[in-house]
Amino acid sequence: MATSIETRLLGRNVSFRVSGPWLAYWLVTLRLAVGWWFLHAGLDKFLAWPFDAGWFVGGAAAGTSLGPLMGPFSDGVGLAVVNVMIPLGQTLIGLGVIVGGLTRLAAFFGALLMAFFYFVNGETGGWAHGLVTGELLGLLIFAMVATLGAGRVLGVDAYLQRLSLFSGDSKLRWLIG
Amino acid sequence: MSEFTTADKIAAYLGGGLVVFGVVGIGVLEIVWGSPHPVSSEGQIEHGALIPLEIRSYIIIVGLVIWAGYAVYKVVATSPDPGPTGTA
């Protein structure tokens, strides 16, 4: 079963057919892979608690493009908050993306976290083989999952969208797709 | 036929354009006339690069900020199309 896409891009008419089943299949597959990536990263940190992000926020980030933004979180209360928010955020993002619940919200914050990892790790050696790294690809997959509202395919969002809270022109609908 | 709105165009073309230019466009220029990679595996900046690493990073960052700003704008300033999104 194919779906016909007709739109305009860069000033040109674009028309192509997409296989519906394969599109749905890949949205779920990408969600499972990138969701487990984050869920595992979060759970791994909780299982090895305590987690200390000081080497990243205060060490590696200093001197990078995002250093000024991350500096206030390099010690004291700021670092204590980051030490909890990174594993908690990764766990919730991973869970949300895997089960497809509030997927856009989860994927937005996933992309945000990946941006920090991308620039800090990249500028401190990760870009030794070029700027396209796993972190950039992860960021782009999160962006795609969010844009396409992938949680509506075999995900909790498919059920949420039937609730009046998430239907019609409710702004909450932006969180699922 | 669905088309981009003005906000969509800014996010897609300006935001995406900066990300692609920073990653791919400058990457092509560097591999031909500059340095094939901006840092060593030890994190030392390669000074043979045509575009300083910091400027290249900021070009990509501005693109990503435009994308993020667009997402926030959509939620705050617009309402979804009231039509159905799909079935469970």
pTM of the model: 0.90
For the segment A20-46, the average pLDDT, to the nearest whole number, is 95
Smallest CA–CA distance from B78 into chain A, residue: A171
Put simply, whether A123 touches B (Cβ < 8 Å) is yes
Specify the pLDDT at position B86: 64
ipTM of this predicted complex?
Answer: 0.86
Coil/strand/helix, residue B13:
helix
Contact criterion met (CB < 8 Å) for A128 and B41: yes
Decide if B37 and A129 are in contact by the 8 Å CB cutoff.
Answer: yes
pLDDT in tens, B5-14: 899 999 999 9
Residue of B nearest to A146 (CA): B71
pLDDT one-digit tens code per residue, B57-86: 999 999 999 999 999 999 999 888 777 666
How many other C-beta atoms are found inside a 10 Å radius of the C-beta of residue A69? 13
Which residues 6+ apart lie within 8 Å of A38 measured at CB? A90, A91, A93, A94, A97, A110
Q: Which residues in B lie closer than 8 A to residue A111 (C-beta atoms)?
A: 68
Provide the residue ranges of all domains of chain B, joining segments of one domain with +.
6-75
Q: Which residues lie closer than 8 Å to A69 by C-beta, 6 or more apart?
A: none
For A121, nearest residue in chain B (alpha carbons)? B43
3-class DSSP state for residue B78? coil
B6 in contact with A at a CB cutoff of 8 Å?
no
CA A132 to chain centre: 17
